[in-house]
Chain A
Amino acid sequence: MRIPCPFCGDRGNEEFTVLGAAGLARPAPEADDAAWHDYVHLRDNPAGAHRELWHHVFGCRAWLVVERDTRTHAVLSVTPAKERAA
């Protein structure tokens, strides 16, 4: 598997670790239990485009949002998590 890191270029998956779904909004501390349960425990498992957080741990150490098709492993987009959130 190859991931095009926006900072380092096309790199092998052995340089990365994957965390899981991206784009989860961390609830406010006062949010109810259901919102926190959802944020910490519940995940979608789509067949198709899926946004995930990958860490370029043996590279630039950027957290990246990798959009990947779970059926083909095609990488559709890669953006720094920092930019997404900003």
Chain B
Amino acid sequence: MNAPLDPRTPADLALSRPAPAQPCRLPAGGLVDRGRGLSFTFDGRRLSGLAGDTLASALLANGIHLVGRSFKYHRPRGILSAGTEEPNALVELRSGARREPNTRATMAELFEGLEARSQNRWPSLGLDLGAVNGVFAPILAAGFYYKTFMWPPSFWEKLYEPLIRRAAGLGRAPEGADPDHYERMHAFCDVLVVGGGPAGLMAALAAGRAGARVILAEEDRELGGRLLAEAEEVDGMPGPAWVQSVEAELAAMPRVRLLRRTSAFAVLDHGVVGAVERVADHLPVPPAHLPRQRYWKIVARRIVLAAGAIERPVVFGGNDRPGVMLGGAVRAYLNRYAVRPGQSAVVFTAGDDGWRTVADLARAGASVEAVVDARSEIPAQQARLAARLGARLVAGGRITGTAGWHRIAAVEIGDDRGCTEGRGADLLAMGGGWTPAIHLSCHRGGKPRWDDALAAFLPGTTPPGMSVAGAAAGRFTTAAVLADGAREGAAAARDCGFAATEPQVPRAEDTPDARVALFHVPASRGKAFVDFQHDVTAKDVALAHREGFRSVEHVKRYTTLGMATDQGKTANVTGLAILAEIAGRSIPGTGTTVFRPPWTPVAIGTIAGHHRGKAFRPTRRTPTHAWAAANGATFVEVGPWLRAQWYARPGETEWQQSVAREVAAVRNAAGICDVSTLGKIEVTGPGAAALLDLVYANTISTLAVGRVRYGVMLREDGFVMDDGTVARIAEDRFFVTTTTANAGKVLQHMEFCHQVLRPDLDVSMISVTDAWAQVSIAGPRAREVVAGLVDPGPDLSNAALPHMAWRAVGVDGVPARLYRLSFSGELAYELGVPPDLGEAVMRRAVELGATPYGTEALAVLRIEKGHPAGGELNGQTTARDLGLGRMVSTKKDCIGRRLAERPALTDPARPVLVGLKPVDARTPLRAGAHLFMPGAEPVTANDQGYVTSACVSPTLGHPIALGLLSRGAERVGERVRVLDPVRGGDTEAEVCAPCFVDPEGVRTRG
């Protein structure tokens, strides 16, 4: 007997088992909530953490350092940082349609039930067969793919690329459509502060107190920046307590908006900043009322960039082994998350900064085995600290290698005298100094400048309105950062017209950080990584230089250094320093790093917001839409509109049956069609006629009041732009219609012609497309249907209302307009009524015997009559091509007239509009097929034109088509070959005049 299938996923099962305790959690301290334990899984293993943890801190609390495999060599990788710069610890979160690849574990907030998986490993994280790439590492150097997979060329697409893509890569895309929604917000402020650390807080305080509208955007879930990670006091209280007091004051200011979990990712033109707020990333499922993320478009008069600084790894052999972490990150895990990332630590530092790590590790009860300080002279106080802790102090020291399998187990230390020794350690805290996070200052093209004293790039020319404060501006003590923030915040508010004073700067740590430049340990063993995420080593940079790549931009592209999703936040400056060293140049002489948006990866869905699916653009419905839907209509998208395509009746199984019936009704009785989607423009004023004479190729000014004229407009280059009708409502008032597709474009063009070309004309124009429901009533019985629709009184006789005339009528006592126009070639009218009467008109017309018809029947009717439409008005045809050449007035100027006279456009060999009938009267012709002389080889040189529109004519009982054929007007009666090589049609057709029904127009005038 089979057991019932367990519906629980492996993750559910893991979560149902008790989690082990967190062996590396400190018993006290930190900013985590010890009262709220959270369960989560990593690679199916059940683990626990605390509220306030990131995934990275929770993994470290559980003693887990190995979290992924590297991109190219599949090297075991751990957690390098504690923040946004993380290049290594990329994991997949969640599952199914919400699966998110390449998420930084250091930024993912822990929540109950979080599912996380390592990436780029097979079959498992511990045993990854791809790691053989590491064995072949000598041949997988920079440019390997370019050099190796060159031959044979056909193998690239089919074999090499898929294999490489499988082996080198990161996470997997989600399987389904994103179930969450995203939204966009527009915000305006006086001062935007980017970064909520000590500088940003002081800047916001200064501007906020002055009364400025302030937005403070902080990437972390909490304000405070490094003050959350360091064990230091501000104003006599612990850093986080001071942060809370400032936060409380800011939160109470009505003109200050605090945006947490918000990354300002792009600085655009004119003070516009793009930011993404992770509204619900920290929740298992976003609540229905909240978006997953929100894209903020912030317009700021002033920007204070207070993005802090990023610590640089040191490049030495084995610097990527799990357990090798940045010193500042070690302090963050100790102080903020109460996690001890190692029991026996070695600290490798360029100077004072590493000694903070030493002190914090010791306070947390870790054993500090050795302090390797690159300076040859160690201050006495630090030497005493090392002695007190029993740590070996190596002055002028280097790490020259590491050992260990999935985690560091030992390090090799070298000193000034060239002696080396090994030492056991499960944590190596390294730091080569801090790089100011100047990225956003470069987005508008500003070049950073090198500061020799700080060994760092500082903001150069900043975008207009931006100032930089704090560590991002190269201030590296807390006191200097606080003072800088206060100064820049007040200055920004003053620039916006507020009387701002600098807030008093609180007391804080003010010892400058003494250190030496430390980027690279050249004499070290094993792979020394510069760019962890793209697996670029110091050797790759050297190789690129040897092969002749001198420009830093070329080296970057050849080695892919800095081109991973982290954009080289921890790698760029180090890479540049190594290149400079090899080339024997200075760092600024070698190049600068240039940063472009986005600061961190942004999901396309966030930028799209609600503009997807049905909400991608508004759906426009005609006034008779509901009636049509209730009467069997199938709808078709025409531009933004939904139009009835045909109305199926019971028993009609093919659309052609419905269309044939509708066409027959128009030809033999009466039909009604909603044509409200045509663009409608009212042009008024004493200059209206003169403007329309300029816009239209034919003359409009001679049109009598009460009459209607067909009009063609050209582009200035001589090709046809659009066509439509013009009714003269009064001496100074015209009603113009355009095609559905060009409605917006034509109005814009007319406004251009008026405002730019003829501003002397006193004329105004407005779109009235939505102000009229307009229906076409066509067929021999159209007059009696119309008579039944309009209020009694008007004389509708042919004499009183002839073809191409209009008159005012009433419908239910409401003013309406009746135009005698025909697209179908039958006796036909267009009746314009206010939109809310549209449905009633439709219903009554049907009661009076009119058959509703859709766009397909409309198309058949006009092909039978040879009226040009979309297929012919394709932007490549002239009025002459369409047989409308005589409409282009030679008596007046108009847009396009002059270039329409170009020799190429008046060439008698140009394809012109013709009708086509298949010789066998059965084979359908298809739009897009090309025309050849029978017997001519079907090559481009012999191409004589193409079919533009085709249908089966119910009136004639056989297929017909319109086409453009070279010298077509002279070739009536000739045969042409109609070849459709794409879809496989090949037949002969007879050329005829482009009008198949009633060429004399007797019906139209009846």
Chain A positions within 8 Å of B, measured between CB atoms, are 1-2, 12-13, 17, 19, 22, 26-27, 29, 31, 33, 36, 39-41, 53, 55, 57, 61-63, 72-75, 80-83, 85-86
Could you say which interface size class chain B belongs to? 20 to 34
Is B751 a contact partner of A29 (Cβ separation < 8 A)? no
Q: How far, in angstroms, from A74 to B759 measured CA to CA in the complex?
A: 28
| Distance from B685 Cβ to chain A, minimum over Cβ atoms (Å) | 14
Binds A, one of B266-274, B355-363, B501-509, B948-956: B266-274
Is B751 a contact partner of A40 (Cβ separation < 8 A)? no
Is B271 a contact partner of A55 (Cβ separation < 8 A)? no
Contacts of A57 in B (CB 8 A): 748
Is A29 a contact partner of B270 (Cβ separation < 8 A)? no
Q: Do A1 and B759 form a contact, CB below 8 Å, given A63-B751, A63-B752?
A: no
8 contacts between A and B (CB under 8 A): A2-B271, A2-B299, A39-B716, A40-B716, A40-B717, A53-B756, A55-B751, A85-B757
Is A1 a contact partner of B752 (Cβ separation < 8 A)? no
Q: Confirm or deny: B755 has a beta carbon within 8 angstroms of a beta carbon on chain A.
A: yes
Most B Cβ at <10 Å: residue of A22, A36, A86: A36
Q: Confirm or deny: B999 has a beta carbon within 8 angstroms of a beta carbon on chain A.
A: no
Contacts of B527 in A (CB 8 A): none
Q: Do A36 and B748 form a contact, CB below 8 Å, given A2-B271, A63-B755, A73-B270?
A: no
Is B751 a contact partner of A26 (Cβ separation < 8 A)? no
Contacts of A31 in B (CB 8 A): 898
Contact of A82 among B716, B717, B759 (CB under 8 A): B759
Is A74 a contact partner of B755 (Cβ separation < 8 A)? no
Which residues 742-765 of B have a CB within 8 angstroms of A? 748, 751-752, 755-757, 759-760
Is A17 a contact partner of B299 (Cβ separation < 8 A)? no
Q: How far, in angstroms, from A83 to B902 measured CA to CA in the complex?
A: 33
Is A73 a contact partner of B269 (Cβ separation < 8 A)? yes
**Chain A contact surface mostly:** mixed
Contacts of B270 in A (CB 8 A): 1-2, 73, 75
Q: Do A81 and B717 form a contact, CB below 8 Å, given A1-B269, A1-B270?
A: no
Is B748 a contact partner of A2 (Cβ separation < 8 A)? no
Q: How far, in angstroms, from A53 to B270 measured CA to CA in the complex?
A: 19
Q: How far, in angstroms, from A46 to B444 measured CA to CA in the complex?
A: 19
Is A85 a contact partner of B759 (Cβ separation < 8 A)? yes
Contacts of A22 in B (CB 8 A): 756
| Distance from A53 Cβ to chain B, minimum over Cβ atoms (Å) | 7
Q: Confirm or deny: B464 has a beta carbon within 8 angstroms of a beta carbon on chain A.
A: yes
Q: Confirm or deny: B893 has a beta carbon within 8 angstroms of a beta carbon on chain A.
A: yes
Q: Confirm or deny: B897 has a beta carbon within 8 angstroms of a beta carbon on chain A.
A: yes
Contacts of B751 in A (CB 8 A): 55, 61, 63
Residue of B nearest to A74 (CB): B464
Q: Do A81 and B268 form a contact, CB below 8 Å, given A29-B893, A74-B464?
A: no
Residue of B nearest to A17 (CB): B748
| Distance from A51 Cβ to chain B, minimum over Cβ atoms (Å) | 12
Q: Confirm or deny: B705 has a beta carbon within 8 angstroms of a beta carbon on chain A.
A: no
Contacts of A72 in B (CB 8 A): 444-445
Contact of A36 among B268, B297, B899 (CB under 8 A): B899
| Distance from A31 Cβ to chain B, minimum over Cβ atoms (Å) | 8
Contacts of B186 in A (CB 8 A): 12
Contacts of A80 in B (CB 8 A): 755
Residue of A nearest to B897 (CB): A29
Is B759 a contact partner of A29 (Cβ separation < 8 A)? no
Chain B positions within 8 Å of A, measured between CB atoms, are 186, 268-272, 297, 299, 444-445, 464, 716-717, 748, 751-752, 755-757, 759-760, 893, 897-899, 902
| Distance from B924 Cβ to chain A, minimum over Cβ atoms (Å) | 40
| Distance from A69 Cβ to chain B, minimum over Cβ atoms (Å) | 11
Contacts of B760 in A (CB 8 A): 86
Residue of A nearest to B744 (CB): A57
Contacts of A2 in B (CB 8 A): 269-272, 299
Most B Cβ at <10 Å: residue of A22, A53, A82: A82
Q: How far, in angstroms, from A16 to B716 measured CA to CA in the complex?
A: 22
Q: How far, in angstroms, from A38 to B294 measured CA to CA in the complex?
A: 47
Q: How far, in angstroms, from A53 to B751 measured CA to CA in the complex?
A: 12
Q: How far, in angstroms, from A75 to B272 measured CA to CA in the complex?
A: 14
Q: How far, in angstroms, from A86 to B754 measured CA to CA in the complex?
A: 12
Contacts of A73 in B (CB 8 A): 269-270
Contacts of A75 in B (CB 8 A): 270
Contacts of B444 in A (CB 8 A): 72
Most B Cβ at <10 Å: residue of A40, A53, A74, A86: A40
Q: How far, in angstroms, from A42 to B787 measured CA to CA in the complex?
A: 56
Is A81 a contact partner of B759 (Cβ separation < 8 A)? yes
Q: How far, in angstroms, from A64 to B341 measured CA to CA in the complex?
A: 62
Is A81 a contact partner of B464 (Cβ separation < 8 A)? no
Q: A85-B756, A86-B759 are in contact. List 13 more A-B contacts (CB 8 A).
A: A2-B271, A2-B299, A12-B297, A17-B748, A29-B893, A40-B716, A53-B752, A53-B756, A63-B751, A72-B444, A72-B445, A81-B756, A82-B756
| Distance from A23 Cβ to chain B, minimum over Cβ atoms (Å) | 10
Q: How far, in angstroms, from A13 to B760 measured CA to CA in the complex?
A: 28
Q: How far, in angstroms, from A85 to B761 measured CA to CA in the complex?
A: 12
Contacts of B759 in A (CB 8 A): 81-83, 85-86
4 tightest CB-CB pairs across the interface, nearest first?
A2-B270, A1-B269, A82-B759, A63-B755
Residue of B nearest to A26 (CB): B757
Q: How far, in angstroms, from A77 to B186 measured CA to CA in the complex?
A: 25
Contacts of A81 in B (CB 8 A): 755-756, 759
Residue of A nearest to B268 (CB): A1
Q: How far, in angstroms, from A75 to B751 measured CA to CA in the complex?
A: 23
Q: How far, in angstroms, from A81 to B757 measured CA to CA in the complex?
A: 9
Most B Cβ at <10 Å: residue of A13, A22, A27: A13
| Distance from B891 Cβ to chain A, minimum over Cβ atoms (Å) | 11
| Distance from A66 Cβ to chain B, minimum over Cβ atoms (Å) | 12
Residue of B nearest to A31 (CB): B898
Q: How far, in angstroms, from A62 to B743 measured CA to CA in the complex?
A: 18
Is A55 a contact partner of B752 (Cβ separation < 8 A)? yes
Residue of B nearest to A39 (CB): B716
Q: How far, in angstroms, from A39 to B748 measured CA to CA in the complex?
A: 20
Residue of B nearest to A64 (CB): B755
Is B717 a contact partner of A62 (Cβ separation < 8 A)? no
Residue of B nearest to A2 (CB): B270
Contacts of B755 in A (CB 8 A): 62-63, 80-82, 85
| Distance from A4 Cβ to chain B, minimum over Cβ atoms (Å) | 9
Q: How far, in angstroms, from A59 to B600 measured CA to CA in the complex?
A: 34
Residue of A nearest to B717 (CB): A40
Is B752 a contact partner of A36 (Cβ separation < 8 A)? no
Q: Do A55 and B898 form a contact, CB below 8 Å, given A1-B270, A2-B272?
A: no
Contact of A63 among B271, B716, B756 (CB under 8 A): B756
| Distance from B347 Cβ to chain A, minimum over Cβ atoms (Å) | 46
